[in-house]
Copies of this chain bind each other. A is one copy, B any other.
Amino acid sequence: MDFSTLDPLIRPRSLAVVGASDDATRIGGRPIAYMKTRGFHGELWPVNPKRDTVQGIKCFSGVEALPAAPDVGLIAVPGGAALDAVEALGEKGCKAAIMFTAGFAETGDEGALMQDKLVAAARRHGMRLLGPNCLGLFNDAIGFYPIFSSSFEQGWPVPGRIGIASQSGAYGTHLYSLARNRNIGTPICVTTGNEAEVALGDVLGWMAEAPEVDVICAYAEGIRESEKFLAALDLARRNRKPIVMMKVGRSALGGLAAQSHTASIAGDDAVTDAVLAEYGVVRARNTEELLDIAYAATRRVYPARNTLGVVTVSGGAGVLISDVAESLDFPMPPMPEETQRKLLGFVPFCAPRNPVDCTAQAFNQIELVGEFARATAAEGGYSSLLAFFTQVGGSPTVGPKVRAQMKPVVEAHPDRLWAVSIIAPPETATEWEKDGFLVFEDPTRAVVALHAMGRFGEAFARGAEAAPQPAPVALPATAPSEAKAKQILDAAGVPAVPEEACADAEAAVAAARRFGFPVVMKILSPDILHKSEIGGVLLDVADEDAVREGFATLMARAKQHAPGARIEGALVAKQIKGAVEMAMGILRDPVFGPVAMVGLGGVFIEVLKDVAFRRCPFDTAEAERLIRSLKGFPLLDGARGRPKADVPALAQALSALSLFAAGAGPRLLSVDVNPVLVLPEGAYAADAVIELDAAEG
């Protein structure tokens, strides 16, 4: 994937503004005013047929009158004129366009047609197109501000190495403003709007390669062009650039709003979670968390095995911090016994375990702070360290003494992530930052941010696993019967319960005799997908007479409830007892293609939604990680005195299912293997449904 085609868009040497306004508060005027103020490093060419100058700059009557082809054209004219502007810029040889104009795909079918025309025109001329319906972008390093946000009235970006890529313009600049107010530098921000041509993936990919960006903040309502998006995530991971992301539209209600807002495809939220986790992208729950994590990431310390050591002057804060760490599964191992004894020697009523609490005694003996911090860092060996000093750290009288205690400790351990929770005026906070600390007021937020650094570290250490290669799968012309579906899956490596298709009662008796009683009997029909709903499944069929009676019952029920269905007899299977019932399946996500699901069977899936998702294909190690992530996993692991179930066999079957789905292509709509019976040895599909797209069959 070549993301450098965005260079003319984000790092241009010349810009034409079509619809330039002399009024610095209008949409077509703000960008020019901003670039005048910040000093755009390239040529700035306003275009407006009614004016000779715009905001004191020579103005051109039309694109054709420009002295040369601009690297990028900014389009701030309404509806129809916007399309003409794209054509004119293309004719001139322009390489990219930014379109503020709204009223396209976000308004309905007619607008979508208009938008298609824009894209066709841009592509014809080999132009990249940002928008329409976007707020624009800025790149402060070259004073480039093709954006109509009012954010800059409250201040310009401070220096920094964080890039913002946001589908929503309002949100992107909201984030920028919050960052600037916290003195966090986000000098590049690109908003993508309708994403008719340039999508979020392009921007992420460009930032993953851009030398001026270390850390990426992303915001999306829906993901388009998954291939590009995933290539960008992969590139960022390989370049060790953390991405922290807000993906909204989680909820049913939010999803509705997302539809009415943009023409985006809101993929299923659980699938998005799974994809982001796969690439080590950390998903923030809210804006503050996003900024906190991005801020912490600028230190570029990403421990692959993150542990937390806490130094505190307050036991209460220590408890609070422990609670948060526990809720995140962020390990806080205890200090070595010997060190604990040593610290108890300094303060008999201290708490030396971790959190390491030197107590308010530090007020009268300031050197305790240094002593306790040194012991925690040197002897505790934690990769992340959090010191809680609250307003003491910002106190004009005590604060500098505390800083003097801490500074040599940090200097002795520059490989660690150091954070301090203090309440201090901004200039004091900056002093602490200069000493090497991340500064947070709220200890909870510090813990969340430090924890995220470990998640990046894990992903970077793991790297890209070579996904197993799926073999092409030949699907039948129409949806197979249950028996056929299980045969297909069995051949693909998902073992089925021993069973036999029986055309008549006597064949059923013979099969049952072979398997041993009791057996399970089911209606066998390619036309009846959900058998249990019509009483088409009989359990505990205990002897030969019961098999005969059961066969008759099934035929009668099939006739009654599904009169038109083709009935091929009954399926007789060995009834397996004492197994853990699982379910697995494949769904085709509109964005990310085939996605595998695994969960505990029955009520676990339907009532508790205790399931895990993963993009296909994946290997058995990944399959086992998914299975172990289930809340109900203890049921497979010997909970309540059961024997342990054969998790490796289940993982093997799940990975095989993922390879099958990846190899089968887009005609495979879904697979439902439910239940999968997991025994102490072996895991067997007891039922399977495969849905195919008939239209392409």
- A interface residues, Cβ below 8 angstroms from B: 25-27, 102-103, 106-107, 111, 135, 148-151, 153-154, 166-171, 173-174, 177-178, 181, 219, 221, 246, 248-254, 256-258, 260-262, 285-288, 313-320, 322-327, 332, 348-349, 351, 353, 355, 357, 359-361, 363-364, 388, 390-392, 394-398, 423-425, 441-445, 533, 602-603, 606-608, 610, 631-632, 634-635, 639-641
Whether B603 and A257, one on each chain, are in contact in the complex, defined by CB atoms closer than 8 angstroms, is: no
Whether A316 and B248, one on each chain, are in contact in the complex, defined by CB atoms closer than 8 angstroms, is: yes
Given A254-B320, A257-B351, A349-B107, verify A287-B177 contact (CB < 8 Å).
Answer: no
Q: What chain B residues lie within 8 Å of A102 (beta carbons)?
A: 349, 359-361
A181 touches which of B107, B392, B423 (Cβ 8 Å)? B423
Extra contacts besides A25-B397, A254-B319, A607-B631 (4): CB < 8 Å: A107-B348, A177-B394, A257-B351, A260-B353
Q: How far is the CA of A494 from the CA of B257 in the complex (A)?
A: 48
Most B CB within 10 A of own CB, among A181, A320, A332, A348 = A320
Q: How far is the CA of A178 from the CA of B171 in the complex (A)?
A: 26
Q: How far is the CA of A639 from the CA of B604 in the complex (A)?
A: 12
Whether A170 and B360, one on each chain, are in contact in the complex, defined by CB atoms closer than 8 angstroms, is: yes
Whether B287 and A606, one on each chain, are in contact in the complex, defined by CB atoms closer than 8 angstroms, is: no
> 16 interchain pairs (CB within 8 A)?
A102-B349, A103-B348, A107-B349, A151-B395, A153-B391, A153-B395, A154-B395, A168-B315, A170-B313, A251-B322, A253-B326, A260-B315, A261-B316, A288-B445, A607-B631, A608-B631
Given A150-B395, A603-B635, A639-B607, verify A257-B390 contact (CB < 8 Å).
Answer: no
Closest CB-CB distance, A605 to chain B, in whole Å? Answer: 10
Q: How far is the CA of A246 from the CA of B286 in the complex (A)?
A: 21
Closest 6 A/B residue pairs (Cβ): A168-B316, A170-B314, A261-B315, A251-B326, A254-B323, A286-B444
Q: What chain B residues lie within 8 Å of A25 (beta carbons)?
A: 397-398
Closest CB-CB distance, A510 to chain B, in whole Å? Answer: 27
Q: How far is the CA of A261 from the CA of B641 in the complex (A)?
A: 37
A174 touches which of B27, B423, B606 (Cβ 8 Å)? B423
Q: How far is the CA of A634 from the CA of B149 in the complex (A)?
A: 48
Closest CB-CB distance, A276 to chain B, in whole Å? Answer: 16
Given A177-B423, A253-B322, A316-B167, verify A148-B391 contact (CB < 8 Å).
Answer: no
Whether A258 and B170, one on each chain, are in contact in the complex, defined by CB atoms closer than 8 angstroms, is: no
**Which residue on B lies nearest to A252, using beta carbons?**
B326
A318 touches which of B219, B257, B640 (Cβ 8 Å)? B257
Q: What chain B residues lie within 8 Å of A313 (beta carbons)?
A: 170
Closest CB-CB distance, A196 to chain B, in whole Å? Answer: 15
Given A318-B261, A360-B135, verify A323-B444 contact (CB < 8 Å).
Answer: no
**Which residue on B lies nearest to A219, using beta carbons?**
B316
Q: What chain B residues lie within 8 Å of A320 (beta carbons)?
A: 171, 246, 248, 254, 287
Given A153-B396, A326-B252, verify A391-B173 contact (CB < 8 Å).
Answer: yes
Q: What chain B residues lie within 8 Å of A262 (beta carbons)?
A: 315
Q: What chain B residues lie within 8 Å of A168 (beta carbons)?
A: 314-317
Whether B286 and A248, one on each chain, are in contact in the complex, defined by CB atoms closer than 8 angstroms, is: no
Whether B150 and A392, one on each chain, are in contact in the complex, defined by CB atoms closer than 8 angstroms, is: yes
Q: What chain B residues lie within 8 Å of A395 (beta carbons)?
A: 150-151, 153-154
Whether A26 and B364, one on each chain, are in contact in the complex, defined by CB atoms closer than 8 angstroms, is: yes
Closest CB-CB distance, A603 to chain B, in whole Å? Answer: 6
A316 touches which of B170, B326, B442 (Cβ 8 Å)? B170
Whether A397 and B254, one on each chain, are in contact in the complex, defined by CB atoms closer than 8 angstroms, is: no
Closest CB-CB distance, A263 to chain B, in whole Å? Answer: 11
Whether B317 and A174, one on each chain, are in contact in the complex, defined by CB atoms closer than 8 angstroms, is: yes
Q: What chain B residues lie within 8 Å of A258 (beta carbons)?
A: 319
Q: What chain B residues lie within 8 Å of A317 (beta carbons)?
A: 168, 170-171, 174
Q: What chain B residues lie within 8 Å of A181 (beta carbons)?
A: 423
Whether B151 and A250, one on each chain, are in contact in the complex, defined by CB atoms closer than 8 angstroms, is: no
Whether A323 and B250, one on each chain, are in contact in the complex, defined by CB atoms closer than 8 angstroms, is: yes
Q: What chain B residues lie within 8 Å of A256 (beta carbons)?
A: 322, 353
Q: How far is the CA of A107 from the CA of B256 in the complex (A)?
A: 57
Q: What chain B residues lie within 8 Å of A261 (beta carbons)?
A: 315-316, 318-319, 351, 357
Whether B154 and A606, one on each chain, are in contact in the complex, defined by CB atoms closer than 8 angstroms, is: no
Q: How far is the CA of A44 from the CA of B85 in the complex (A)?
A: 79
Whether B349 and A171, one on each chain, are in contact in the complex, defined by CB atoms closer than 8 angstroms, is: no
Closest CB-CB distance, A647 to chain B, in whole Å? Answer: 16
Closest CB-CB distance, A70 to chain B, in whole Å? Answer: 25
Whether A425 and B154, one on each chain, are in contact in the complex, defined by CB atoms closer than 8 angstroms, is: yes
Q: How far is the CA of A441 from the CA of B180 in the complex (A)?
A: 13
Q: What chain B residues lie within 8 Å of A150 (beta carbons)?
A: 363, 391-392, 395, 397-398
A632 touches which of B107, B170, B607 (Cβ 8 Å)? B607
Q: What chain B residues lie within 8 Å of A332 (beta carbons)?
A: 253
Closest CB-CB distance, A406 to chain B, in whole Å? Answer: 16
Closest CB-CB distance, A673 to chain B, in whole Å? Answer: 18
Q: What chain B residues lie within 8 Å of A398 (beta carbons)?
A: 25, 150
Q: What chain B residues lie within 8 Å of A353 (beta carbons)?
A: 256-257, 260
Q: How far is the CA of A153 from the CA of B274 in the complex (A)?
A: 48
Closest CB-CB distance, A102 to chain B, in whole Å? Answer: 6
Q: What chain B residues lie within 8 Å of A443 (beta carbons)?
A: 287
Q: How far is the CA of A261 from the CA of B166 in the complex (A)?
A: 45
Whether A442 and B286, one on each chain, are in contact in the complex, defined by CB atoms closer than 8 angstroms, is: yes
Whether B319 and A249, one on each chain, are in contact in the complex, defined by CB atoms closer than 8 angstroms, is: yes
Closest CB-CB distance, A327 to chain B, in whole Å? Answer: 6
Q: What chain B residues lie within 8 Å of A364 (beta carbons)?
A: 26-27
Closest CB-CB distance, A658 to chain B, in whole Å? Answer: 26
Q: How far is the CA of A391 from the CA of B178 in the complex (A)?
A: 9
Q: How far is the CA of A363 from the CA of B30 in the complex (A)?
A: 12
Closest CB-CB distance, A292 to chain B, in whole Å? Answer: 11
Whether B257 and A355, one on each chain, are in contact in the complex, defined by CB atoms closer than 8 angstroms, is: yes
A606 touches which of B106, B360, B425, B639 (Cβ 8 Å)? B639
Closest CB-CB distance, A180 to chain B, in whole Å? Answer: 9
Whether B603 and A639, one on each chain, are in contact in the complex, defined by CB atoms closer than 8 angstroms, is: yes
**Which residue on B lies nearest to A106, using beta carbons?**
B349
Closest CB-CB distance, A637 to chain B, in whole Å? Answer: 10
Q: What chain B residues lie within 8 Å of A425 (beta carbons)?
A: 154
Whether A177 and B351, one on each chain, are in contact in the complex, defined by CB atoms closer than 8 angstroms, is: no
Q: What chain B residues lie within 8 Å of A219 (beta carbons)?
A: 316
Q: How far is the CA of A107 from the CA of B253 in the complex (A)?
A: 53
Q: What chain B residues lie within 8 Å of A314 (beta carbons)?
A: 168-171, 174
Closest CB-CB distance, A537 to chain B, in whole Å? Answer: 13
Q: What chain B residues lie within 8 Å of A287 (beta carbons)?
A: 320, 442-444
Q: What chain B residues lie within 8 Å of A250 (beta carbons)?
A: 323, 326-327
